[in-house]
Each structure stands twice: as structure tokens, then as C-alpha cells.
Chain A
Amino acid sequence: MIAFEHVGKRYGGRFDALAGLDFTVERGEMAFLTGHSGAGKSSLLKLIMLLERPSRGRILVAGHDIGRLHVSQVPYYRRQIGVVFQDHQLLSDRNIFHNVALPLMIQGVTPREQARRVRAALDKVGLLHREKALPVELSGGEQQRVGIARAVVNKPALLLADEPTGNLDPALSADIMRLFEDFNRIGTTVMIASHDLALIAGLHHRTLELADGRLIADKDAR
């Protein structure tokens, strides 16, 4: 699903945020990306989301060299990827339903179909009863679950998460990870950047460890 081939990312001509990355994540796999702050986890995810382009090497997602995508094709590429952010990035001026419906609205899904899929996604994260609430009226854990619902509402083949449990206590974090495992079980490829080693260790999935922009360990815990 994801293949990195000798990928490097250099900022400002001198600083190597990522260097010599070579790895593959298979379709339907679930993998964690760990490492200290500044190890390059976020940079790596940004490359997959095409927020940035690699300075060296190439990245294949579902067999396509995403470095060769034209700017006008980038939106359509991103629609195939669900993204969950640490600070969930919900829009504060609209309610939960409309936040989750956003990707469907962008893709031009009819309102009736939108409603059906939004409710299915909210049901999956256990927040169907809060669809009319505004993001501020929700707790941190609930907001993150809305963020996940928005990421999966259009059934993406690939789900990326950048520190999705960074602001949550251990019990809530475990809940969130269980949600990701559920999506992985129905075939979604999941890649989660997290520095919560204790949490990751208990989940028994593949773990890619970064340090100073290099891949220093690739452990399959299954």
C-alpha cells in the first residue's frame, strides 16, 4: 500500500529531516511509527499526505508514484486517505454532523447519502447521539472520536493518524486505538505515528522506529 524508496526530505538546503528511508507497508496492515519528537514522524506522514514532496527518492501509494501527481490531481489523491490529527482539527463553527460530512460534501455525495454515511460513522465511534453538538461541547476524547469518524466516513483505503492520543489519558487512548484496530480488521491499512511506547507495546502490531530522520528499527510484534 505504501512503499518508500530511498526517500529523503531536506529543509532549507542543509537540514535532513528524513534520510534514506526504505520500507513497505502492505495493504490491510496496521503499523505504528515511533520515535522521539523531531525524529521525523510528522514529516513522514506529511510526505504521504502530499503536504510536502520528498527531496530525494520516490513514494508509491497503491502502486502510484505520488511524486508524479500534478497539483490538480492532489485533491483527488487525498480523498483516498483518511487523516486523524493530534488536535483533531474540527471546525468550531459547525456541528458534529457537518464536521463529519465535510469529506462527503467535498466529493459531491448527495445530502441523503451523506446523512446515511455520517450516521454510520458516528455510530461506529459511539457518538450518534451527539450529532447536533458543537465541537466545544465535547470532551477531548469525544472530539478525537469525531475526528476519526470524519477520517473514515468516505471509507478510505488508507488511514493515517498523527499522535491521535497525544492529548488523552491512558484509558481514552486505549479506546481510540481499539477503534483503529476495528477499522484495520475490515481491511483498512492503518499507519499511526505515536510516541506512547507503553500503549503501542500492548497492541502487538508492526512498529517502525525513527531517529534523526532514519529508520532504526522495524519490529513485527505479531
Chain B
Amino acid sequence: MSSSRLRTRKPTPEAVESADAAERRARKGARSSRVSVESRYRSWLSHHGAMARDSARRLLVTPIASLLTMLAIAIALTLPAALWLALDSARLLDNELNDSAQLTLYLDTSVSEGRALDLADRLRDEQGIGGVRLITAAEGMEEFAQALDLKRSLSLLDNNPLPASIMITPVDTTPESVHQLATRLESEPGVESARLDLAWLERLRQLGELGQKVTLGLAVLFGLGVLLVVGNTIRLSVESRRQEIEVVTLIGATHAFVRRPFLYSGAWYGLGGGLLACGILALGGSWLAAPVTGLVQSYGGNYVLPSLGLSGGAALLFSSTILGWVGAWFAVGRHLASISPR
């Protein structure tokens, strides 16, 4: 029999459905389809809720196995997060160092104290200069003598061999602009030379950049690790629920419906792993706090070990949850592809 004959003689399900619906409309008012959109939406929401609860319950049924998976995720997350924290604190340190980036102008020994004062006053009004401090030749000698405890031997000298100097604090502390400022000021009359030691600042900056890239690379690698851990765990749980998946697929479940409980499991694993990672970081921080503070104080510094804080913690939890979700998505997707009709 041809399809057209079948179609003309036999009503399609849609036709039956609409006739059915028309009949129902006639009976009890407007109700257009068999399952209304509103009812579908509400039951979709309630299915989400049910699956979130059900997958959490399933994790709690095997607490040790679930905890181990979460621990694996937590360890994979802790390393890049700790590196990021260390880098962040290094950046703070870097800023502090930048603030102390100073430029020293050594004046000609022939320049009189009055002219030196004039120059200092003029520089104070110039753009790009935050602070100016004049150290006269006499003051320089005083400091030098005090620092080296050479008062007596220096007093033997007939005249002061030290030049006056001007300490400049630049406004913009990036290496390039400090460099530019130095060359500009060197050409000022009366200035013998401008000295600044940028090499180590630059090295520190490059080290920071390297650290940033290493952290990013590790974060990507360990993120993939989390995907694999979750993916593998979910794959096992898909295997153990194979029959259920096949049955619901046979009676008309969409891929989204089949995926949903596993996505929630993955998200719970990720969230649990993220929480554990936060815990590990907090523990590690308090463990290291005493020695780090002691070390920094011995250098006369004042430095507090960084912690994730609220936003950092939220970011960590969010990304771990997303990683868990995505890992589960891939694991179920592979299985769904294998049971599609061929």
C-alpha cells in the first residue's frame, strides 16, 4: 500500500490528537494539547528538583566512594588554586616594591647648595614626579659616616668629596616610564648622572609573568584532570544504570531527560570537591601562617599570608561545579551516542 493511500484513509496521530483536543475543548474549555506547556514546564522544574535530590541521595548511599572522588577533585583543584594565591601575594609584594622604586640624581660637585635647592624645587613641580628629596653634600657625608661608622676617618678629609643628590619618587612606576624619566632628568643642567636599579625589578616582573603562565597551564591540566575524574566516575554509574537508561529511552525519554540525573551527580561531585579544596587551602594557610610571618618579620616586613576570601572561594566552587557538570555531560553523551538507532 502506498503512503498516500495510507495518509488519505487513515488519520495521522496529530489529526487524532487535534480531534481529541477539539472534543475536550468542547467539554471543558480551552486546553489545546495533550500535555500543556505550563504543565510540561512545571513538571520539568519538578524533575530537575527530583533529580538533584535523587543524585545527592545516591552519592550519600556510598559515602566513602563519593568522598574519595571528591578528594581526588579537591587535590586536583588545590594545587592551581594555591599557586594562584601565591602569585597574587607576589603581585601585592611587587606593587610595594614598585612604590619604593626611586631614582637618584647625582649632581655635579661644582653645583652650589643654593642651585641644588632651586633644581629640587623646580623638579617638584614637574609632571610625572611624585616626590623629591634633596640630600646636600653635607647631609650625604653625615649619612655615609653614620652608616659606616667612619666619622673620625672622614673628618680627616679637607673637603667633602661627595656630590649632592636628589631622590625622585616617580608617579608612574612601570620600568619603561621610569627609564624615560631617568634619561630626561639626566640631561638637566647640573645633573651628573641618574641612577636606578631596574634590572631586578624587571626580573621579578618576568618571574611573575612566568609564574602566571605556569599557573594557567597547570590550572588547565588539572581542570582536565577533574573532567576525567568526574567523567570516569559518571561512566561507571551510567554502566550500573544501563538498564534504566535503555528502558526510559525506549519509552520516549529525550537525551536531556536521561542526562539530567548524571549531570546533577557530576555537579555534586564538583561542588563537594570544591568545598574540600577550600578546606585544604584554609588548613594549609593556617599551617604555613606562623613560619611565613616569622620569616617575613625577620626581614622587618609586614606580610599576611593570602587567603581565598569570599569571592575567591565562590569562584573556586563555581568552576569546580561547572567542571563536574561538563565531565558528566561528556560521559553520558558517549553512552547516548552508542544507543542511538543505527
Report which of B47, B247, B257 forms a contact with A91, defined as CB distance below 8 A.
B247
Complex CA distance for A75 and B265, rounded to whole angstroms: 23
How many Å from the CB of A176 to the closest CB on chain B?
A: 19
How many Å from the CB of B36 to the closest CB on chain A?
A: 9
Query: Contact string, A36-79, partner B, CB cutoff 8 A, digits 1/0?
Result: 00000000000001111100000010111100000110111111
| Contact assessment for B248 and A106 in the assembled complex, using a CB-CB cutoff below 8 Å | yes
User: Is the CB of A24 closer than 8 A to any CB of chain B?
Assistant: yes
Query: Contact string, A96-110, partner B, CB cutoff 8 A, digits 1/0?
Result: 000000110111111
- Nearest to B337 among chain A residues (CB) is A71
User: Is the CB of A3 closer than 8 A to any CB of chain B?
Assistant: yes
| Residues of the B chain whose Cβ atoms lie less than 8 Å from the Cβ of A60 | 3, 6
Pairs A-B, 10 closest by C-beta atoms: A79-B252, A108-B40, A78-B252, A108-B43, A63-B7, A75-B254, A24-B1, A103-B251, A106-B253, A75-B252
Asked if A109 meets B39 with Cβ closer than 8 Å, knowing A64-B12, A91-B243, the reply is: yes
- Nearest to A65 among chain B residues (CB) is B3
| Residues of the B chain whose Cβ atoms lie less than 8 Å from the Cβ of A49 | 250
- Nearest to B253 among chain A residues (CB) is A106
Report which of B10, B251, B257 forms a contact with A78, defined as CB distance below 8 A.
B251
| Contact assessment for B250 and A3 in the assembled complex, using a CB-CB cutoff below 8 Å | no
Besides A62-B12, A78-B252, A110-B43, 17 more A-B contacts (Cβ < 8 Å) are A3-B1, A3-B6, A24-B6, A51-B341, A53-B341, A60-B6, A62-B10, A74-B341, A75-B252, A75-B255, A91-B247, A103-B251, A105-B47, A108-B35, A108-B40, A109-B39, A157-B13
The range of chain B's interface size is 20 to 34
Q: Which of B305-342 contact A (CB under 8 A)?
A: 340-342
| Residues of the B chain whose Cβ atoms lie less than 8 Å from the Cβ of A106 | 248, 251-254, 257
Report which of A3, A78, A91 forms a contact with B244, defined as CB distance below 8 A.
A91
Interface on A for B, CB 8 Å cutoff? 1, 3, 5, 24, 26-27, 49-53, 60, 62-65, 71-72, 74-80, 83, 89, 91, 93, 102-103, 105-111, 113, 150, 157
| Residues of the A chain whose Cβ atoms lie less than 8 Å from the Cβ of B247 | 89, 91, 102
Q: Which of B1-18 contact A (CB under 8 A)?
A: 1, 3, 6-7, 10-13, 16
Complex CA distance for A196 and B157, rounded to whole angstroms: 125
- Nearest to B45 among chain A residues (CB) is A108
How many Å from the CB of B170 to the closest CB on chain A?
A: 63
| Contact assessment for A71 and B252 in the assembled complex, using a CB-CB cutoff below 8 Å | no
| Residues of the B chain whose Cβ atoms lie less than 8 Å from the Cβ of A109 | 35, 39, 43
Q: Which of B127-178 contact A (CB under 8 A)?
A: none
Complex CA distance for A75 and B10, rounded to whole angstroms: 23
* Most chain A Cβ neighbours within 10 Å, of B1, B13, B243: B13
| Residues of the A chain whose Cβ atoms lie less than 8 Å from the Cβ of B255 | 72, 75
Asked if A108 meets B10 with Cβ closer than 8 Å, knowing A91-B243, A150-B251, the reply is: no
| Contact assessment for B252 and A105 in the assembled complex, using a CB-CB cutoff below 8 Å | no
Asked if A111 meets B252 with Cβ closer than 8 Å, knowing A71-B341, A74-B341, A157-B16, the reply is: no
How many Å from the CB of B10 to the closest CB on chain A?
A: 5
* Most chain A Cβ neighbours within 10 Å, of B7, B41, B250, B252: B252
Interface on B for A, CB 8 Å cutoff? 1, 3, 6-7, 10-13, 16, 35, 39-44, 46-47, 243-244, 246-255, 257, 340-342
Complex CA distance for A2 and B253, rounded to whole angstroms: 22
How many Å from the CB of B157 to the closest CB on chain A?
A: 94
Complex CA distance for A76 and B35, rounded to whole angstroms: 13
Complex CA distance for A65 and B12, rounded to whole angstroms: 12
- Nearest to B16 among chain A residues (CB) is A157
| Contact assessment for A52 and B342 in the assembled complex, using a CB-CB cutoff below 8 Å | yes
Complex CA distance for A23 and B342, rounded to whole angstroms: 22
| Contact assessment for A50 and B6 in the assembled complex, using a CB-CB cutoff below 8 Å | no
How many Å from the CB of B54 to the closest CB on chain A?
A: 10
| Residues of the A chain whose Cβ atoms lie less than 8 Å from the Cβ of B248 | 102, 106
- Nearest to A60 among chain B residues (CB) is B3
* Most chain B Cβ neighbours within 10 Å, of A71, A103, A105, A113: A105
Complex CA distance for A50 and B11, rounded to whole angstroms: 21
| Contact assessment for A76 and B47 in the assembled complex, using a CB-CB cutoff below 8 Å | no
| Residues of the A chain whose Cβ atoms lie less than 8 Å from the Cβ of B40 | 107-108
| Residues of the B chain whose Cβ atoms lie less than 8 Å from the Cβ of A110 | 39, 42-43
- Nearest to A82 among chain B residues (CB) is B251
- Nearest to B39 among chain A residues (CB) is A110
Complex CA distance for A108 and B252, rounded to whole angstroms: 11
| Contact assessment for B46 and A111 in the assembled complex, using a CB-CB cutoff below 8 Å | yes
| Residues of the A chain whose Cβ atoms lie less than 8 Å from the Cβ of B47 | 105, 108
Complex CA distance for A80 and B247, rounded to whole angstroms: 15
Complex CA distance for A64 and B44, rounded to whole angstroms: 28
Complex CA distance for A82 and B299, rounded to whole angstroms: 79
| Residues of the A chain whose Cβ atoms lie less than 8 Å from the Cβ of B243 | 89, 91
| Contact assessment for B10 and A1 in the assembled complex, using a CB-CB cutoff below 8 Å | yes
Complex CA distance for A127 and B39, rounded to whole angstroms: 28
